[in-house]
Structure 1
Amino acid sequence: MEPLQALAAREKTSVTKLTSRSKIIKTILHTIQEKKGENIISLDLRKIPEAVADFFIICEATNTTQLKGISDFVEEEVKKICGETPYKHEGHQAQQWIIIDYVNVVVHVMLPETRKFYRLEEMWSDAAMAEHNS
């Protein structure tokens, strides 16, 4: 099965409507906080027609070790607690920006310089934003 067909099939099987209070989002946010991720925000993209997901969760890591630690822990905890594995993940080689794609929720773990350069919050400024710093 081609990747796009697999993605379309997975989206159709979703029974529960995703909200900011959904188990997967709460698990991701809690996991990032446990690993001391900084400047944690969520963007609710559901009202933006051209959005590639329903939610983005964005955070910063202070160094490459923490970047990998946060992303690995997110994947482990989401699998353990929610039974979900990522559709795709990118960035483990370059270690500046790791993306964990759960189809409707995309997690962005970035180094501060990379986050300042790409400015995702500005790119998606129409989205409702919430801060999640502990």
Structure 2
Amino acid sequence: MEAKELDKAICEAASDKKARDIVSMDMRELTPTCDYFVVCSANTATQVRAIADNIEEKLAEQGESFLHKEGYREGEWILMDYGDVVAHIFRQEAREYYALEHLWADAKLTPYED
């Protein structure tokens, strides 16, 4: 799957579980490690895990599996590395604290609209 297709599939899977404020960050000019970040948030750790589970399940159905996942047990910030695309699923408070959109302010942001 191409990076842009993977980005869209992650956004859709997050949206299916009512993730809030889903944005795609174009990282191609900023880092050699990936092409896109998908950033989204949820109200509770349970919802953060449900979003991560749905992303994993929906992408697995399309033959894609993550290379690395961390933060699942705590449910505050789950990172799922799919190679060209890295998904960041935050509890709202953690998203505000880490502020990836501000840290990587040079990245072009595209809000996801279903």
Q: Which has the larger radius of gyration?
A: 1
| Structure 1 consecutive aligned stretches of length 4 or more whose deviation exceeds 6 Å | none
Instruction: State the AA in 1 paired with 2:22.
Output: I
Same amino acid, percent of matched pairs:
32
Aligned twin of 1:23: 5
Root mean square deviation of aligned Cα = 1.4
| Structure 1: unaligned runs, 5 residues or longer | 1-15
| Matched-pair contact (CA < 8 Å) for 1:39–1:133 | no
Aligned twin of 1:118: 98
Q: How many residues get paired?
A: 114
Instruction: State the AA in 2 paired with 1:80.
Output: E
Aligned twin of 1:62: 43
Name the SS of the counterpart of 1:74 in structure 2: helix
| Structure 2: unaligned runs, 5 residues or longer | none
Name the SS of the counterpart of 1:68 in structure 2: helix
What is the TM-score normalised by the length of structure 2? Answer: 0.93
Determine the C-alpha separation between the residues in 2 that align with 1:133 and 1:55. 17
1:39 is aligned to 2:21? yes
Task: Name the one with the larger strand percent.
Answer: 2
Determine the C-alpha separation between the residues in 1 that align with 2:16 and 2:37. 19
Determine the C-alpha separation between the residues in 2 that align with 1:42 and 1:103. 15
What is the TM-score normalised by the length of structure 1? Answer: 0.80
